[in-house]
Chains A and B, each alone.
Chain A
Amino acid sequence: MFKVTVDLFSGRPNPSWIVSDSKGDELLKRIASEKQVISKPSAGYDGLGFRGIKIEMLNDEKENKLPSSFTIANGVAKDQKASIQLARTIVDQMAGYEKFSMDVHRITPVNKEIQKIIMGSIDQYEKDISKIRGYLKFKHRRPGGSAIRVTVKDAECRDCKYEESKFNPDFWNLDPNVQANNNCYNYGRNWKTNTFAQPGRFTGQQAATMSCQEVKAAAMRDGLVERCSCLPQSEYPRRLMALVIAPGVDYHWYRKQKRGFWGHKPGGTAARNYDNSNVLITDPRTCDRGAGTWLNYTDFCGFFYAGKSVIIS
């Protein structure tokens, strides 16, 4: 049993009716087998004219494993053509459902006149679908989009590309064991080994001293390359990392994220995107790395790409 609402009008109530017969059961079975025709309610077109058909289940039995409410033909379903076709089928069947009387029927009845209006609006919607899809793309855009990872051209290196990923500190911070057992190198390479990974450990030779030269060499034995030594697409995803050193004491890594900042994870502490002054890190060369303290990561060693074949342990 479900309720159909055609999202069409601006002033008067939308056409709506309740379906509770074998035709309705068949329709749900069909939708369940073509899930690419449905989308979330309110996810799609919201302008004037036809905006989709909303289906709401009226019982709690999760028939056909469909969501409790969804929309057909609102511009965002994976299969637009099939979605519009299905919308026409639903409207085609509306005659006869006026027997389940609803308050809205006093103003927007379930009759042939309304059916004709709806069908006309679906025809217009189909003609305008490219414009509607374009509008939805614009409406849902966010800086950097919603992609987890994007490929970018390296502004510093002609022809080189690498991938920037969405900042996801919870991955490193929510589980105390993950936080404690993964360090800056794990974070920079974006690989949770739970071993407090060390440059060169996998390849059998770690840095003998804490210097740019030694730590850089150890990391390059793991497979990192200097920035502007372009990595091919086969190394996707390719991270941009930065190395700094507290001479004789320790090293630290940063990783470039989407949206123009860098993330890092000081040892077993939380991953974050701000420096020691609580300022968002836009450049690891100039961020606060312990300024004014004895444990200051003063030396900037360079930028590196870490591709898929970099193994750390």
Chain B
Amino acid sequence: MSKTTYKLELDCFSGRQNPVFEITEEDFAALQRDIQKLEATAGQPLYDGLGFRGFILSDTVATFISIQKNIIKIQLDKDVQYKKNNQHILSRLISVAREYDEEKAYETLIGKIAGEYLI
């Protein structure tokens, strides 16, 4: 059986490939757990144009969590839920991205994301 891969993607580019970090199962599970505790909200289209489109947290198989500044879309197989996002989750995501960007290749980018998303 192939090993599940857990990823945190910064969905921002059009031409270049997005920065993607392979993260541990523990980090993925902890984030997923905390996101699931958030308040549910009505579904709405997520921003998908040019520019920063948020974080994508996934196990690359069945769970895809799209995280934007104020809203989170959780897709688990065919089931879709929406949650109201908060600053705590955003801070955690930015910390995880910085932690896994060991070579600091995306330091400036992550800084810009923090500037946009964090109050």
Judge whether A297 and B50 touch: CB under 8 Å: yes
Bound-complex Cα distance A66 to B12 (A): 53
Alpha-carbon gap, A294 to B17, bound state (A):
18
- Set A251, A275, A294: member contacting B14, Cβ < 8 A: A251
Provide the residues of chain A in CB contact with B50, threshold 8 Å: 252, 266, 275-276, 289-290, 295, 297
Contact A183 B49, beta carbon cutoff 8 Å: no
In the bound complex, what is the Cα–Cα distance between A253 and B11 (angstroms)? 17
Mostly helix, strand, loop or mixed at chain B's interface?
loop
Name the interface size band of chain B. Answer: 10 to 19
Q: Which of A210, A270, A294 contacts B48 (CB 8 A)?
A: A270
Query: In the complex the two chains form, what is the Cα distance from A181 to B40 in whole Å?
Result: 31
Query: Is the Cβ of B14 less than 8 Å from the Cβ of A184?
Result: yes
DSSP class of A's interface residues: helix, strand, loop or mixed?
A: loop
Contact B15 A295 (CB under 8 A): no
Residues in B whose Cβ lies below 8 Å from that of A289: 50
Q: Does B15 lie within 8 Å of A267, measured CB to CB? A: yes
Could you tell me if A185 and B15 are in contact, using CB atoms closer than 8 angstroms?
yes
**Across-interface contacts of B21 in A (CB, < 8 A):** none
How far is A185 from B16 in the complex, measured between Cα atoms in Å? 10
Pair B14/A276 contact, Cβ less than 8 Å: no
Interface pairs A-B: 3 shortest CB-CB:
A251-B15, A252-B14, A295-B51
A-B contact pairs, 19 of them (CB 8 A): A183-B15, A196-B17, A198-B15, A250-B12, A250-B15, A251-B14, A251-B15, A253-B15, A266-B14, A267-B18, A269-B53, A290-B49, A290-B50, A293-B116, A294-B112, A294-B115, A295-B112, A296-B51, A297-B50
Show the binding face of A for B, using Cβ within 8 Å. 183-185, 196, 198-199, 210, 215, 249-253, 265-270, 275-276, 289-290, 293-297
Extra contacts, 16 of them, besides A267-B14, A269-B49, A270-B48 (Cβ < 8 A), are A185-B15, A250-B16, A251-B16, A252-B15, A266-B50, A267-B15, A269-B48, A276-B49, A290-B50, A290-B51, A293-B116, A294-B116, A295-B12, A295-B52, A296-B51, A297-B14
